[in-house]
Amino acid sequence: MNRLLPLMVLCLAWTAWSLRAATAPSLEIHREGPRNRLVFTGILESATTLQGPWAPVVGATSPWWTESDAHGDQYFRSRTEGLFDVRSVVDWFVQGPLQTHFELAFAGLPDGIFPPKREKPYFDGQVTMGEYDRPASLRVRGNSSLQECPFPKLKLKLSRQDRVGTPFATAREIKIGSHCAEGGQGPVGRLRDETATYREALAYEIMEVLGFLSPRVRRARIEYRDTSPAREGSTTGWQVRRQALLVEDIEVVGERLGGRALSDEEITALRDAGFEDQLLIDLRCFHALLGNWDYSVAQSGDNLWNTDVVELPGGKRVPVAGDFDLASWVTGEVRLMAPHDYRPDLEDLTRQAYFEVNEIRRQTDEAAFAMSQARFEERRSAMESWIATATLDEPGRSNAVRHVSVFFEALAEAAKGGKRE
């Protein structure tokens, strides 16, 4: 629940006042000479208009001081610490008729010659996080993943009244990346193991470290409890606890930035998105870093795949990468797309990275490629530090370290020898 107070910092006199509720955060503002003292609980945020966008006040601890004679209007609010405000692994319980809906979606069944009709309606369930036990709407999600994941990805929604005063207050829609299955590699290429979820979380975090617009993520341990009615030929009433990935829904990302996310229908209809050329080059390099082939992005916005779009205030449209579960960063298996005669002396990961980055260089203006290279070089140390301390299985960490090393080798080689057609 948000508690909102405006601070009109031109010349208004303040008296102490507060808004409180039993489970809500609180905020008091006291005028003390040339400064204002903000006493708060929860997360302190500020904005220059009531409509936002709102942003956390960096480093704010209670009490927090501001200058009362600063220019312009400024508003402050405090809110409950949200689901994505911290990085620690969170424990959840999720229950509902999961097996019934896995079967409706034919989860884990390949398409075959006659693909099944995969139904993915919302259904009633429950989510529990600590003391908060809330009703939720859930549904199965995924496209190709449904062909190889008997335990599919999910999406979860909570109503406004059920979010008030809880960590879900700013997370009304959440995507859940599941463990997929109990081992091995799927026919499409996914790692069907719970370790894949934390590896994919790291990919999103590295995207954030690199300064790209990104949904926030959090690692979770979820105990799933099936409440499907018993029926012949189906195993129901099971419980299983596995690692999972929680991802902020793109609609929430857009709202958090004061803009909006384009709907699936709007993305399909895009023909002149006007994406920045430099950003597209940078994003292609990012996908090369991850060894990710399961995406599509173009300046016009045509045929986007695994790419969302956020429209910022003022109308600027920004592509947002996502869904990295088929990247070699996650799977540990390289999908080699380089021609058979391209650098056969190199091992597959190096060979593919060199090919991808050199293709980007070949199709890119020298100055633009240099700008992209600088973006990654400036953040290399931060990336490596993040990988070193992330919650991750050790083979996954070694795989990420190797991807970073090979990618920067490829960048250096392309900068020296790449030529544009």
- Per-residue pLDDT at 13: 29
| Listed ranges 29-38, 165-174, 403-412; the one with the highest mean pLDDT | 403-412
pLDDT at 202 over 90: yes
Structure tokens at 112: 């075959």
Query: pLDDT digit string (tens) for 85-140?
Result: 889 999 999 999 999 999 999 999 999 889 999 999 999 999 999 999 999 999 99
Cis peptide bond N-terminal to 339, omega within 30: no
pLDDT at 10 over 70: no
More confident residue, 26 or 320: 320
d(CA 164, CA 170): 9
Instruction: For residue 418, give Cα distances in angstroms to 52, 245, 364.
Output: 44, 38, 9
Q: By percentage, how much of the chain surpasses pLDDT 70?
A: 92
Query: Would you say the C-alpha torsion 178, 183, 186, 190 has a positive or negative sign?
Result: positive
Average pLDDT over residues 8-37: 56
Query: pLDDT digit string (tens) for 316-338?
Result: 999 999 999 999 999 999 999 99
pLDDT band with cut points at 50, 70 and 90 for residue 22: very low
- Per-residue pLDDT at 68: 67
pLDDT band with cut points at 50, 70 and 90 for residue 294: very high
Q: Which residues of 342-377 are buried (b: 16+ CB within 10 A; e: fewer)?
A: eeeeeeebbbbbbbbbbbbbeebeeebbeebbebbe
CB atoms inside a 10 Å sphere around CB 379: 15
More confident residue, 373 or 170: 373
d(CA 178, CA 164): 27
pLDDT at 154 over 60: yes
Task: Of 139, 213, 131, give the one whose Cα is nearest residue 174.
Answer: 139
Structure tokens at 245: 């990935």
pLDDT at 24 over 70: no
- Per-residue pLDDT at 160: 93
For 359-416, the DSSP string reads HHHHTS-HHHHHHHHHHHHHTHHHHHHHHHHSS--HHHHHHHHHHHHHHHHHHHHHHH
Instruction: For residue 20, give Cα distances in angstroms to 1, 2, 37, 77, 366.
Output: 11, 10, 17, 12, 57
Query: pLDDT digit string (tens) for 374-409?
Result: 999 999 999 999 999 999 999 999 999 999 999 999
pLDDT at 83 over 80: yes
Query: Would you say the C-alpha torsion 127, 133, 135, 136 has a positive or negative sign?
Result: negative
pLDDT at 291 over 70: yes
- Per-residue pLDDT at 9: 38
pLDDT at 253 over 90: yes
- Per-residue pLDDT at 69: 62
- Per-residue pLDDT at 16: 30
